[in-house]
A and B are shown apart, each in its own frame.
Chain A
Amino acid sequence: MRPIHVVPLGDADRTRVENLCGPLARVFRAHVEIREVSCDVEFFFDHVRVQYNSTKIIDFLQRDIARKKTVSGDGLPLKVLAVSSEDLFIPILTYVFGEAQLGGEIAVVSYHRLQNERYGLRPDPALAQSRLLKESIHELGHTFGLIHCSSQECVMHTSTYAEDIDLKHDAFCPACQEVLQSGLHSSGA
């Protein structure tokens, strides 16, 4: 069974990234491993917006996979989740917590806006980690073809504020779980 690769980008906190692997493995019932990718994150930096372009990050990782496919089919991941510490955006929106290819292979998530200190509150590393895990599951869920869910507790419920993330669980609702199972099956996981 092919693994899910978790890629720390730039100076992303390795401990936070490592702490994601176990829960992700349980949720997706797949082997999850950290993979280092050498890239200069400044390439994704937009000097006008002073933010990082998540679409460019996904394009880069897509090309990285395509290159690997041409060299050798061995060791190809089931999905790739990049984790960033930077503020991400897509051109039309002011910010995003993450971005994913719907029904594709790549997802990216950032914990920049998930931390209390960004909003002038007392740091809460456990809460930030919980939010990061939920958003990681959410973006990976998109790569399995899942769309936003109307159930407020489902991890696929859309969240545009950090506090919204706290309202949902780090698990799929039964309907989304069913779609995920079918996605996992067709992905050969």
Chain B
Amino acid sequence: MNKNEIGILVVDDELIVRESLSKWFREDGFRVDAAENAAAALKKLQGGSWNLMLVDIKMPGMDGIELLQRVKEIDKNIVVIIITAFASVDTAVKALKDGAYDYITKPIDPDYLDHLVEKAIRQQQLTAENLRLKETVTELSTPSEIIGDSAEIAKVLELVDTVAVTDTTVLIRGESGTGKELVARAIHTRSARKYFPLVTVNCGAMTETLLESELFGHERGAFTGAQYRRKGKVELADGGTLFLDEIGNIDTKTQMDLLRVLETKQFTRVGGTEVLRSDFRVICATNRDLEKAVKEGFFREDLYYRLNVFTIPLPPLRARRGDIARLAHFFVEKYSAAMNKQVRGFSPEAMHAIKAYDWPGNVRELENAVERAMVVTTGEVIEKEHLPLHTTASTRGNGKRLEDMERQYIESVLRETGWNVSRSAAILDIDRVTLYHKIEKYGLKRES
């Protein structure tokens, strides 16, 4: 980075100090400006980008420590060096605790000042570079987080690969916990936009006003509490992907604003007049029946068509039972590493319970169940009683699909008879061929 791209803001109430320091850094080739008090500094902070601030601790009105706290609220990456007239341990400790990079006492040794500023800027640049590299490496090296080798998941991955290379809007549909965000991430990391951010907005978790501000940002004073200008997620997603989760839950006004920004890629911050542009790809997800919402007038038809360009349906976990065991083992490995435990897997009874369970909360519920079991288990194997599903599984029935109940009943009869098909068929009052068909249909297997 050229020095003239690095901005230094000098904040001191003494004109001579502002002039001296500004001149000193200008001779070094930095972009320099000065402010006579904290309020002026905050104003300049809004109007431009600054890498480093030299802040006098003692100023009329807001002092240097308070300014430091405000600056860190606005942008924690700005390096702040506090200038004090006298070295005071208390003040220095307070400044450092509040996020100051260092403090210097007046008058400053020129050699020390040069080295301090150089070191601070180098560290800031290395930190930024490190973050960028980490993100890139994570994105590039993370294997697909979508686990499973069932035909249903293979179909999903095929759709992901097909759409990732395009810039098409994607609508991911599926029950809660089926991994919609993972699919969005997979599309993003396989797209040309992978080096830019994937910005997620959980539309269902916010009120109308909050969502508007979250999406489009706001100007200072746009509403009570908007002390500073803030960039919205649409602006932050520039170059990358905007993932709108729970899109079916947004209010009518935001639907209209969203439609406009999707069509024009232009928007205005809340309370602002400046028209801004952002180049982003949209992926959205919902577990709602959008067609029904459109019919009932809760969801704009034009927005529905704008979003429903390429749909990826995610199957519920019960529809891909063949993946349950693999997923369960994947989570055991994941939490073994995270919890530093030596757990190898499941007892046959535990695995049987896992496979038999309906998983209404899908993969998320399975992951939570395994995580909980990992916490409570003390041995190398997760037992059935460690899993938080025995009561739910046995008492569930109401609301369960007929097919699921049939599968569970057939499985229990087969278990009782030791997989004697003839005896089981007799108990079930069906012929043997029908039972074989049912076994195949439900993917039932005798446990070894």
A residues in contact (CB < 8 Å) with B: 49, 55, 89-96, 99-100, 102, 142, 147-148, 158, 160-161
Contacts and interface: CB of A to CB of B under 8 A. Distances in A.
Contacts, number: 57
A94 B27 contact: no
Listed residue (A96, A99, A148) with the most chain B CB atoms within 10 angstroms of its CB: A148
A93 B16 contact: no
A89 B107 contact: yes
Contacts of B19: 55
A99 B20 CA distance: 10
B376 interface: no
B107 A147 contact: no
A102 B28 CA distance: 11
B28 A91 contact: no
B28 A158 contact: yes
Given A94-B110, A147-B29, 10 more contacts: A89-B107, A90-B20, A91-B14, A91-B20, A92-B83, A93-B24, A96-B110, A102-B23, A102-B26, A147-B28
Interface residues of B, number: 22
Nearest to A99: B23
B328 to A, nearest CB: 58
Interface string B8-32: 0000001011011101101111000
Contacts of B107: 49, 89, 91-94
6 contacts: A91-B16, A92-B17, A92-B106, A94-B110, A102-B23, A158-B114
B16 to A, nearest CB: 5
Nearest to B111: A160
Nearest to A101: B23
Nearest to B4: A147
Contacts of B111: 160-161
Question: Closest 7 interchain pairs by CB?
Answer: A160-B111, A147-B29, A92-B20, A90-B20, A160-B110, A94-B107, A91-B16
B358 to A, nearest CB: 67
Contacts of B90: none
B429 interface: no
Q: Tell me what chain B mostly uses at the interface: helix, strand, loop, or mixed.
A: helix
A147 B23 CA distance: 11
A147 B30 CA distance: 9
B113 interface: yes
B375 interface: no
B114 A93 contact: no
B145 interface: no
Given A55-B16, A55-B20, A102-B23, A93 B113 contact: yes
A142 B113 CA distance: 20
A58 to B, nearest CB: 10
A99 B21 CA distance: 12
Contacts of A90: 20, 23-24
Interface in B105-119: 106-111, 113-114
Nearest to B16: A91
Interface of B: 3, 14, 16-17, 19-21, 23-24, 26-29, 83, 106-111, 113-114
B133 to A, nearest CB: 25
Listed residue (B14, B27, B111) with the most chain A CB atoms within 10 angstroms of its CB: B27
Contacts of A96: 110
Nearest to B54: A92
A161 B28 CA distance: 16
B26 A95 contact: no
A161 B107 CA distance: 17
Contacts of A95: 110
Nearest to B30: A147
Given A93-B109, A94-B107, A147 B16 contact: no
B54 to A, nearest CB: 9
Listed residue (B19, B110, B114) with the most chain A CB atoms within 10 angstroms of its CB: B110
A95 B114 CA distance: 13
Contacts of B17: 91-92
Given A55-B20, A102-B23, A160-B114, A93 B28 contact: no
Contacts of A161: 111
A77 to B, nearest CB: 22
Given A55-B16, A55-B20, A93 B110 contact: yes
B108 A148 contact: no
Given A91-B107, A93-B110, A148 B28 contact: yes
A149 B111 CA distance: 16
Listed residue (A89, A90, A92, A160) with the most chain B CB atoms within 10 angstroms of its CB: A92
B20 A148 contact: no
Contacts of B14: 91
A79 to B, nearest CB: 16
A99 B83 CA distance: 22
B16 A94 contact: no
Nearest to B15: A91
A142 B23 CA distance: 11
Contacts of A91: 14, 16-17, 20, 107
A94 B110 CA distance: 7
A175 to B, nearest CB: 12
Contacts of A92: 16-17, 20-21, 24, 83, 106-108
A94 B107 CA distance: 5
B12 to A, nearest CB: 8
Contacts of A49: 107
B445 to A, nearest CB: 70
Nearest to A97: B110
Given A91-B20, A92-B21, A148 B110 contact: no
A148 B26 CA distance: 9
